[in-house]
Amino acid sequence: MFYRESGYYKTSYAADMALYPLPITRVAVTGFAVLFFVIAPLLLSDYYLSVINLVAIAIVGALGLNILLGYTGQLSIGHAAFMSVGAYTAANLATKLDLPFWLTLPAGGLMAALIGLIVGIPSLRVKGIYLAIATLAAQFIIEWIINHTPAISGGVQASIEVPPPEIFGYVLKQQGQLYYFLMIICVIAILATMNLVRSRIGRAFIAIRDQDIAAEIIGISVFRYKLTAFAISSFYAGVCGVMYTYYLGIANYEQFQIITSIDYLAMVIIGGLGSVLGTIFGAIFITLLPVVIRIIMETFGSIFVEPAALAQVISQLRLIIFGGLIIMFLVLEPDGLNKMWLNIRSYFRVWPFSY
């Protein structure tokens, strides 16, 4: 029978918490899985696959930040520092001890989680602006320590080359080969986050975000869950750093400076705080933005500026558009791309009976 819905009628808590809120979601997820795991690698060149790889890496990092900022409400401006911790841990383990990726990856994550726990300690005493500044300090201090400890940073350039990951003797050297490796980690991260936030821990995070005193009163240990949030978020960041290291084939602190932290903040805010889907939107958006700007500027830019200055103009334009988008979203649509998507979806779902 053909009919249209006129609203949302969830009749049980199970329906409310379901991973697939609508029947069509199941189809869409299967569709995307086929698209990205079967069709895309067959059709796309290595360049486009490497762009998708970047998006996958960004999604993992942004999910970590969203758990901290969007779900627990703790601002961190030092997210990139945790990535560098993960990256250098994995790089050192891979080069000095010849460990395979399935050990370096969690090791990088765990090391970052450990450092995250330490950085999270101020969050027990301070919040808001003070926490923001404390994590900013952590960013600089971690960066400085890595840079000034040759045992970690591997010498003058502070960069370590890592061997490509290897699965059953099959070496993943090219972007096309790395593609599956990074995509699978990304999918695991997405699933883990979706399940985390609807578990007991996730509900505790949300309670702390909404009202920490009330959360304490109903028996949530704010102390423990805030530190858990920092640890989990840093774990994601560490894994993201390891992924990035394998992606580039080199661990370098220049990839993890404060501007990267701000990029990730931008992803989470533009995508939508407290939403996994929003994080994915944000990561895609922010990662593709410079690519799109570069393509546009390389095609049309020579009309306005000299070719020699083009690279610089692109990086400046990128900053302006980034900053402008952050402000625009904050002022006009605080819930980000996710909210826009939901609005569109709701509109068409109940069309034409939208009352």
Partner 1 sequence: MDFDFNFFVELTFNGILTGMMYALIAVGFVLIYKSTDAINFAQGEFVMIAAMIVAGMATLYGAPLFVAIAIGLAFMLVFNWGLERVVLRPMIGRPVVAIIMATIGLALMLRGFGPLVLGAETRPINLPVSNDPVIWGPLFMTRIDLVGAIISVIFLSAFGWFFMKSRKGVAMRAVADSHQVSMAMGINVERYFALAWMLAGFVALLGGLVWGNAIGVDSQLAVLGLKVFPVVILGGLDSIIGVVVGGLIIGVCEAWAAGYIDPLVGGGTKDFTPYVLMIIALMVRPHGIFGKPIIERI
Pairing of the two strands 250-252 and 159-161? antiparallel
CA nearest neighbour of 250 among 119, 113, 90 = 90
Instruction: Tell me if 266 contacts partner 1 by CB under 8 A.
Output: yes
Q: Looking at beta carbons only, is 50 or 287 nearer to partner 1? A: 287
**170: which strand partners?**
167
**CA 214 – CA 355 distance, rounded (Å):** 35
Q: How many residues bind partner 1 (CB under 8 A)?
A: 46
Q: How far is the CB of 151 from partner 1 (least distance, A)?
A: 14
Q: Looking at beta carbons only, is 182 or 208 nearer to partner 1? A: 208
Q: How far is the CB of 126 from partner 1 (least distance, A)?
A: 5
Amino acid at 116: G
**CA 294 – CA 315 distance, rounded (Å):** 9
Instruction: Tell me if 27 contacts partner 1 by CB under 8 A.
Output: no
Q: Looking at beta carbons only, is 46 or 335 nearer to partner 1? A: 335
Instruction: Tell me if 292 contacts partner 1 by CB under 8 A.
Output: no
Q: Which of 107, 160, 269, 283 binds partner 1 (CB under 8 A)?
A: 269
Site track for partner 1 across 332-351, x = CB under 8 A: --x-----------------
Q: Are the C-beta atoms of residues 208 and 106 closer than 8 Å to each other?
A: no
**CA 172 – CA 181 distance, rounded (Å):** 8
Q: Which of residues 67-86 bind partner 1 (CB under 8 A)?
A: 69, 73, 75
Q: Looking at beta carbons only, is 140 or 351 nearer to partner 1? A: 140
3-state secondary structure 159-215: EEECCCCEECCEECCCHHHHHHHHHHHHHHHHHHHHHHHCCHHHHHHHHHHHCHHHH
Q: How far is the CB of 111 from partner 1 (least distance, A)?
A: 20
Q: Is 77 helix (H, G, I), strand (E, B) or coil?
A: coil
Q: Which of residues 184-243 bind partner 1 (CB under 8 A)?
A: 212-213, 222
305, 309, 311, 314: CA torsion to nearest 10? -40
Q: How far is the CB of 222 from partner 1 (least distance, A)?
A: 7
Q: How many CB atoms lie within 10 A of CB 46?
A: 14
Q: How far is the CB of 159 from partner 1 (least distance, A)?
A: 17
Q: Is 251 helix (H, G, I), strand (E, B) or coil?
A: strand
Instruction: Tell me if 117 contacts partner 1 by CB under 8 A.
Output: no
**151: which strand partners?**
none
Q: Which of 331, 352, 353, 355 binds partner 1 (CB under 8 A)?
A: 331
Q: Which of residues 129-168 bind partner 1 (CB under 8 A)?
A: 129-130, 132-134, 136-138, 140-141, 144, 147-148
User: Which range in 164-172, 247-255, 262-270, 276-284 contacts partner 1 by CB under 8 A?
Assistant: 262-270
Q: How far is the CB of 57 from partner 1 (least distance, A)?
A: 21
Q: Residue 98, by phi and psi: left (phi above 0), alpha (psi -120 to 50) or beta?
A: left
CA nearest neighbour of 250 among 133, 139, 149, 154 = 154
Binding site for partner 1 (CB under 8 A): 69, 73, 75, 122, 124-130, 132-134, 136-138, 140-141, 144, 147-148, 212-213, 222, 262, 265-266, 269, 312-313, 316-327, 330-331, 334
